[in-house]
Amino acid sequence: MNIGYCRISTDSQNDSLQLQALKDAGCEKIFSDVASGSKTDRVGLRECIEFARSGDVIVAWKLDRIGRSLKDLIETVNTLKEREIGLKIITQQLDTTTPSGMLFFYIMGALAEFEKSLIQERTAAGLKIARARGRLGGRPKALDKKQIAVAESLYADGKTSISQICKTLGISRATFYRNITLKAA
């Protein structure tokens, strides 16, 4: 029996292409997850593997749907192999039920791991360059120094309530307390 596995990383992604490909591949049952590929405990994948019996084949759209790290992929394939369950990857035409398919699996897994490492290196280099240019990244501050000074002086004056200060500056009470040094009035 062909059993499908579909994974998308976020709810905002669409899994219809994967699902259609799995149906076209003759999958009688399909399990799915909404989880990052780097997350090793994916409920849908675990249920898919538990459901499969000897002689069954788990089918996925791409190799990275099963896992991102080479270690995770190899562990998954070894688990399947011990239970005499095959793995087919549609886009890479990978089939672990054959010796050449197993060889191809290890090569593709190593390439996927290499690609992940390159992406991490490029991201780290980009962040380093941005920091050198004075860009810190992350969410922008709700208040600049001038706004903080205004809020502190309004509060110190004692005539304006915290609610009114927050309304005037367009901030929440939590932002006010996080940014303003309160002095006894």
Q: pLDDT digit string (tens) for 160-171?
A: 999 999 998 999
Q: Which of 110, 104, 96, 111 is nearest to 52 (CA)?
A: 96
For residues 1 and 183, give the distance between their C-alpha atoms in angstroms, rounded to a whole number. Answer: 71
Indicate which residue of 9, 16, 38, 54 is catalytic: 9
- Contact between 3 and 29 (Cβ < 8 Å): yes
- DSSP symbol at 131: H
Whether 9 is catalytic: yes
- Determine the angle formed by the axes of helices 145-157 and 162-169, rounding to 10 degrees: 150
Q: pLDDT digit string (tens) for 116-158?
A: 889 999 999 999 998 899 887 778 788 888 999 889 888 888 8
Q: Which of 3, 173, 11 is nearest to 86 (CA)?
A: 3
